Structure 1
Amino acid sequence: MHFGERIRELRESQGLLQRQLAASLEIDTPMFSKIERGERKAKREQVELLASLLHANLSDLLRIWLADQIIDLVKDEPQASEALKTALKEIKKDEH
């Protein structure tokens, strides 16, 4: 699931309108609509605020948001899978 899809799912399940969340994020409704459709990327601060507004788990939203960014960065690279494996090894080394 992509970030925008998750935001739309949460918003609709709570009966909120795009314009309500857009106002809270201090952006216009068309821009919020683009975030939901995946045509525009939300900023990290917006993700954090959306988690609060939608009573969602911040860690889950950040994970989905970050995954979307990584996919956008590497999706057209022939070595994407191998690069991600290498990056994961480095991340795991740094965690210990």
Structure 2
Amino acid sequence: MEYSFGEKIKHLRESKKMTLKELSSLLEIDTSMLGKIEKGTRRANLGIIKKLSQIFNIAESELNVSMVSDQIANEVVKKYNQQAQQILVVAERKVAYRTKSEIDTNKE
């Protein structure tokens, strides 16, 4: 199972034996905001993601993928619960096709 963005941050924080207060201080945000990010009720901005990347020595792109994929999954499940899985499978194929088409177009 894939951790949500918030679960990932909490896991990273706990693995470094950091408190919410310690990490929020390093991020220059208040503890309640970090708690909301970990619970998934608040999104991290790019500045926070950059700092998290540096603190935990993890690629910004990995954190961005985790956060954006949460947003997409949550929205699709909320609106199309029964079809969510099928929609995401088809969307994945379309992204692969469009990415390939864009690469082919740029080669010309």
Q: TM-score of the superposition, structure 2-length normalised?
A: 0.72
Runs of 4+ in 1 over 4 A off after TM superposition: none
**Root-mean-square deviation (CA), in Å?**
2.1
Which of 68, 80, 85 is 2:87 aligned to? 80
Aligned pair in 2 of structure 1 residues 92, 46: CA closer, same or farther (>3 Å)? farther
Whole-Å Cα distance in 2 between the matches of residues 17 and 50 of structure 1?
Answer: 14
Tell which structure's C-alpha radius of gyration is larger. Answer: 2
Structure 1 spans left out of the alignment, 5+ residues: none
Whole-Å Cα distance in 2 between the matches of residues 91 and 73 of structure 1?
Answer: 23
Structure 2 spans left out of the alignment, 5+ residues: none
**1:43 lines up with 2:45 in the alignment:** yes
Secondary structure of residue in 1 paired with 2:35: helix
Whole-Å Cα distance in 1 between the matches of residues 16 and 43 of structure 2?
Answer: 22
Identify, as 1 or 2, the structure richer in helix: 2
Deviation at 1:30, TM superposition (A): 0.9
Whole-Å Cα distance in 2 between the matches of residues 95 and 49 of structure 1?
Answer: 32
Which of 6, 9, 28 is 1:7 aligned to? 9
* Structure 1, 79-88 or 24-33: larger mean CA deviation: 79-88
Partner deviation per Cα, 1:26-53 (whole Å, 9 max, x = no partner): 2210110010111111112211211111
Which of 45, 57, 60 is 2:59 aligned to? 57
**1:94 lines up with 2:96 in the alignment:** no
Query: How many aligned positions are there?
Result: 96
Amino acid at match of 2:24: A
Q: Which has the higher contact order (CA 8 A, sep 6+)?
A: 1
Whole-Å Cα distance in 2 between the matches of residues 71 and 43 of structure 1?
Answer: 18
Whole-Å Cα distance in 1 between the matches of residues 100 and 21 of structure 2?
Answer: 41
